[in-house]
């Protein structure tokens, strides 16, 4: 028993006692009341967060990757280029229940996430924690900010985290009393984890080292039934292995090599402050104290269950800390250590009991605040006006934005085109979003850097969704997510599109959130003139700088060019209204020097200048933008930037 770690009143393996005095009766009554209060609080928190998750799943737009998991679910298989099958199966199950609705796609993930606090309580019980402290461990799990948002979206971390918790609980049960039921739970966790993500290998490795490090763990490893469970779990990795063997290791190459720079970057040290913020500082301190106290208790008592939780969790945390200096920093990875934190929550209530009431309340308050901020952000970005307001800053939810608007515009365009029109998207994320929103309508996907960056190119090719180089079929509606390519790479991307598929007609431009999500719609019809390759315009505002404060008459300067047609004129817009016609054709030799591959014959005279009067604008935040008119008749609104009026 973990007597040095936990207070006496939560240790349950005392022998039978006789309660012969009123003080003992009163203490028992107090403990029963505390247990009941803690249980009621846990159930209230758990139900509230589940309701919030379900509400968010209804109103939050699909994240880009979620749509692709839906697409994988429409092509059910044992493994894919990016992941094993679990996420796709869960996504398919959801839409089979409720149709192509965001809430239906996410429902299985919300249910799995709701099970996790209960598994934390079960882990606490295996560590000798009972009564109020066990329920408090569950409440800590409910309010843990990284877990609070898990299950809102259809993401692979949901089955992955659940699989880790299932395995931890099953191993602790087997270390307490070997049983067939615990072996079956271990098999379930191993199979689910193997079908969830490549990353499940790290918790497996940490757990194996933890068991090997202790005599009691090595005793468990000598059980034939455990190895039988491990063998069944290993079979879950077989589809992934076979997929990689058949496709020259494309999945492994992406997960282990292509997505990671494998070069030291000192920014990896940010892992610590980021994790402190995610856990909330006081809970992080309590967790550190619990680990320290637990380590001392384990060194004295040699409780194999406590040792397993401590060693496995700390090894996993250390692995993610080291990886942070070398691994992928372009994608969100702050949630990766969550499976390491959750088992440790069982040790925290005993530590918090020893704190002064003020600090305990502050810990719970910070947890509640962190969770509120997390789910509040998700709720906020589900509102289009909020997304538009955030467009100028780093908090802009780019992968949630623009999909509804481009779907609406696509429907409108298809109504005016022949019935046999093919739909083509330039990248996997846009194709998946359109397919989901259009009830499974087939969408072809061009070869695009984003497909390779996210490890989806091989899978799209296997599904036959990528048209070969050459003229695109007609009639077709081609949708290009312009902002999916960095501005510095767009001119080359436009030119490569012409080289691969021939000349394209004048596009219709759709600006979402002031152009921070920008789409080009090309109507490819048999009667179109394909003799010349005219590229979309590129433009920039040099003055005033973004987010600057202005007053009175404002000077606007910048440049714009358009290969294959040149620019006819440039209009200045403020908050969507034209406020000035720019003088176009001013010398700007630095533009041609930077865009060396540009073929616009107007170089170097591609600069423009204009002024507008800001005195009639209300003080505060406004949006400044351009409309570029091409000599080919094209009208292209450009990305807007914020400025402030005194």
Secondary structure (DSSP) of 297-361: HHHHH--HHHHHHHHHHHHHHHHHHHHTTTS--SS--TTTTHHHHHHHGGGHHHHHHTS-HHHHH
| Cis status of the peptide bond prior to 544, with omega within 30 of 0 | yes
CB-based contacts of 65, cutoff 8 Å, min separation 6: 155, 399, 429, 454
Nearest alpha-carbon partner for 459 in 421, 424, 432: 432
Between CA 313 and CA 206 the distance in angstroms is 7
**Which phi and psi (to 5°) does residue 508 adopt?**
-90, 130
pLDDT value at position 13? Answer: 45
Three-state DSSP state, 202 = helix
Three-state DSSP state, 646 = coil
Between CA 555 and CA 253 the distance in angstroms is 51
Q: Per residue, what are the HEC states of 364-412?
A: HHHHHHHHHHHHHHHHHHCCHHHHHHHHHCCCCCHHHCCHHHHHHHHHH
Largest CA distance in the chain: 101
Q: Are 98 and 54 within 8 A, CB to CB? A: no
Nearest alpha-carbon partner for 439 in 401, 410, 468, 481: 410
Q: Are 572 and 580 within 8 A, CB to CB? A: yes
Secondary structure (DSSP) of 543-569: ESPTT-EE-SEEEEEEEEE-TTT-EEE
Q: Which pair of structure tokens corresponds to residue 268? A: 């990896």
Between CA 132 and CA 134 the distance in angstroms is 5
Domains (ranges, CATH) in the chain? 39-377 (no CATH), 388-533 (3.40.50), 537-646 (2.60.40.650)
Nearest alpha-carbon partner for 11 in 22, 1, 23: 1
**Which phi and psi (to 5°) does residue 327 adopt?**
-95, -175
Instruction: Give ∠ CA 394-397-403 in degrees, rounded to 5.
Output: 145
pLDDT value at position 504? Answer: 87
Between CA 620 and CA 2 the distance in angstroms is 60
Burial class (CB in 10 A: 0-12, 13-18, 19+), 212: exposed
Per-residue CA distances from 460 to 72, 428, 444, 514 (Å): 10, 8, 9, 31
CB-based contacts of 423, cutoff 8 Å, min separation 6: 410, 414, 434, 438, 441, 442, 443, 444, 476, 477, 479
Region for residue 237 given its phi and psi (left: phi exceeds 0; alpha: psi -120 to 50; beta: otherwise): alpha
Between CA 192 and CA 174 the distance in angstroms is 19
Q: Are 553 and 614 within 8 A, CB to CB? A: yes
pLDDT value at position 12? Answer: 38
Between CA 466 and CA 443 the distance in angstroms is 9
CA quadruple 246, 250, 251, 256: dihedral sign: positive
Question: What is the tally of helices (H) and strands (E) in the chain?
Answer: 26, 15
pLDDT value at position 21? Answer: 63
H/E element, 176: helix 157-176
CB-based contacts of 471, cutoff 8 Å, min separation 6: 501, 502, 530
Q: How many CB atoms neighbour CB 379 within 10 A?
A: 17
Q: What is the mean pLDDT of each run of 10 residues along the chain (646 residues)?
A: 43 46 70 89 96 95 95 96 95 95 96 97 95 96 92 95 98 95 97 96 96 94 95 96 91 81 80 89 96 93 94 94 76 81 96 95 96 94 95 91 96 94 96 95 94 92 92 93 94 90 90 96 78 88 95 96 96 96 96 93 96 95 96 94 94
């Amino acid at each position: 028993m973990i007597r040095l770690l936990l207070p006496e009143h939560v240790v349950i393996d005392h022998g039978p006692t006789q309660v012969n005095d009123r003080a003992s009766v009163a203490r028992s009554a107090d403990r029963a009341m505390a247990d009941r209060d803690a249980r009621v609080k846990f159930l209230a928190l758990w139900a509230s967060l589940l309701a919030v998750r379900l509400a968010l799943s209804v109103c939050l737009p699909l994240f880009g990757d979620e749509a692709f998991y839906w697409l994988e679910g429409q092509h059910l298989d044992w493994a894919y280029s990016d992941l094993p099958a679990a996420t796709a199966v869960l996504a398919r199950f959801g839409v089979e229940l409720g149709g192509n609705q965001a809430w239906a796609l996410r429902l299985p993930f919300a249910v799995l996430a709701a099970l996790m606090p209960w598994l934390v309580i079960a882990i606490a019980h295996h560590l000798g924690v009972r009564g109020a402290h066990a329920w408090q461990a569950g409440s800590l799990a409910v309010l843990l900010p990284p877990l609070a948002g898990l299950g809102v979206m259809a993401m692979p971390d949901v089955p992955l985290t659940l699989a880790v918790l299932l395995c931890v609980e099953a191993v602790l049960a087997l270390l307490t009393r070997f049983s067939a039921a615990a072996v079956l739970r271990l098999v379930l966790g191993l199979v689910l984890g193997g079908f969830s993500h490549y990353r499940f290998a790290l918790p497996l490795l940490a757990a194996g080292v933890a068991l090997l490090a202790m005599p009691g763990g090595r005793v468990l490893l000598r059980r034939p039934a455990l190895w039988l469970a491990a063998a069944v779990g290993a079979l879950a990795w077989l589809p992934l292995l076979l997929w990689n063997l058949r496709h020259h290791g494309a999945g492994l190459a992406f997960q282990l090599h292509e997505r990671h720079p494998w070069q030291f970057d000192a920014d990896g040290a940010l892992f610590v402050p980021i994790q402190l913020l995610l856990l909330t500082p006081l809970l992080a301190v309590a967790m550190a104290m619990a680990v320290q106290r637990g380590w001392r208790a384990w060194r004295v008592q040699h409780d194999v269950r406590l040792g397993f939780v401590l060693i496995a969790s700390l090894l996993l945390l250390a692995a993610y800390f080291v990886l942070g200096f070398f691994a992928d920093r372009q994608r969100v990875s702050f949630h990766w250590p969550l499976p390491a934190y959750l088992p440790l929550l069982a040790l925290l209530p005993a530590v918090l009991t020893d704190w002064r009431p003020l600090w305990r309340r502050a810990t719970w308050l910070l947890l509640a605040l962190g969770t509120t901020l997390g789910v509040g952000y998700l709720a906020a970005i589900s509102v289009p006006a909020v997304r538009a307001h955030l467009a100028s800053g780093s908090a802009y939810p780019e992968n949630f934005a623009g999909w509804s608007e481009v779907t609406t515009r696509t429907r409108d365009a298809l109504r005016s085109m022949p019935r046999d029109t093919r739909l083509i998207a330039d990248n996997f994320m846009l194709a998946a979003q359109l397919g989901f929103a259009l009830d499974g309508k087939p969408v072809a996907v061009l070869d695009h850097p984003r497909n390779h960056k996210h490890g989806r190119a091989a899978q799209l090719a296997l599904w036959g969704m990528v048209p070969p180089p050459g003229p695109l079929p007609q009639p077709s509606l081609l949708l290009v997510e312009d902002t999916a390519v960095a501005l510095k790479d767009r001119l080359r991307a436009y030119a490569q599109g012409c080289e691969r598929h021939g000349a394209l007609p004048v596009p219709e431009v759709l600006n979402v959130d002031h152009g921070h999500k920008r789409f080009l719609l090309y109507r490819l019809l048999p009667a179109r003139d394909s003799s010349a390759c005219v590229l979309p315009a590129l433009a920039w505002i040099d003055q005033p700088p973004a987010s600057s404060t202005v007053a009175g008459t404002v000077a606007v300067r910048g440049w714009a060019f358009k290969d294959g047609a040149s620019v006819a004129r440039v209009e200045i817009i403020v908050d969507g209204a034209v406020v000035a016609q720019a003088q176009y054709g001013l010398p700007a030799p630095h533009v041609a020097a930077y865009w060396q591959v540009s073929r616009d014959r107007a170089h170097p005279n591609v600069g423009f200048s204009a002024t507008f009067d800001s005195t009639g604008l209300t003080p505060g935040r406004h949006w400044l933008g351009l409309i570029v008119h091409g000599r080919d008749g094209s009208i292209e609104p450009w990305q807007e930037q914020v400025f402030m009026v005194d």
